[in-house]
Amino acid sequence: TAWGLPGRTKSAEDLYQESREQMRCAFAVGKGRHQLCRVVRSVRIRLLADIFGVEHSLVCRLEISRSGKAVERRDLPTRRLQWKDTVRLYDMADKTLLAENSPYTEDWVRGCRRAMRRLGLSFEVQEAHLEEDLSSFQVEADQPSSGYPGLMTNHLTHEVVFRVAEPEHPAMKCIGLPSGQEFATTEGIASGQSSADVLTTMTFWAWERNCSMSASTTSGR
């Protein structure tokens, strides 16, 4: 099998954790019920701020895993939506599975809020200091997975644009404003039953001068 190659592909254990423990993907049967596919729903945040009169976007610059592996990136803040039931085998013929507002995962609006809370912005700060601009919904159906070779994946992504109303406000200091400094966050993901089985990832964020930046993808999809 091509799965589980160090530094190249993910293992069956990774897929089990992603689905059953983290609830971040589900499985469905495709056409003719002969093909098993993976379904992933995500929210992607384009957070904008004026820094010295120039519009900037927040991007992930670097991720360092607990093992010490460092991966350079250029990604917008992204969070996988959690599924309500990952034991169930879904049917691709079910139109609500790939619908913009699906009943099978957590609400995508709440997913946005939780993604920004990861940056250090509480729900209260988001309500008071962020302005929602635009939103879009994108479907990438039946795409080969680079992380799990041979497993077709359906990626459904809500991209939402938020603007920082007052970059100079003290509440924005935690995300490097108003000067646009880099900052870091940590996130722990359970990989077992004990507190020792928590994989911690450190992420470094940077404010990038706005241009025609295309939507980035998540490595090892």
Mean of per-residue pLDDT scores for the chain: 88
List phi, psi (to 5°) of 128. Answer: -85, -30
Choose among 108, 57, 101, 50: nearest CA to 82. 108
Convert the pLDDT of each residue in 87-123 to its tens digit: 999 999 999 999 999 999 999 999 999 999 999 999 9
Handedness of CA 218, 15, 111, 134 (dihedral sign): positive
pLDDT of residue 194: 44
Q: What DSSP string runs through 162-178?
A: EEES-TTSGGGGGGTTT
| Residue 47 DSSP SS3 | strand
Among 4-8, 192-196, 208-212, the least confident range: 192-196
pTM: 0.84
E strand or H helix at 144:
strand 130-144
Q: d(Cα 218, Cα 221) in Å, to the nearest integer?
A: 6
Do residues 102 and 81 make contact, with C-beta atoms less than 8 angstroms apart?
no
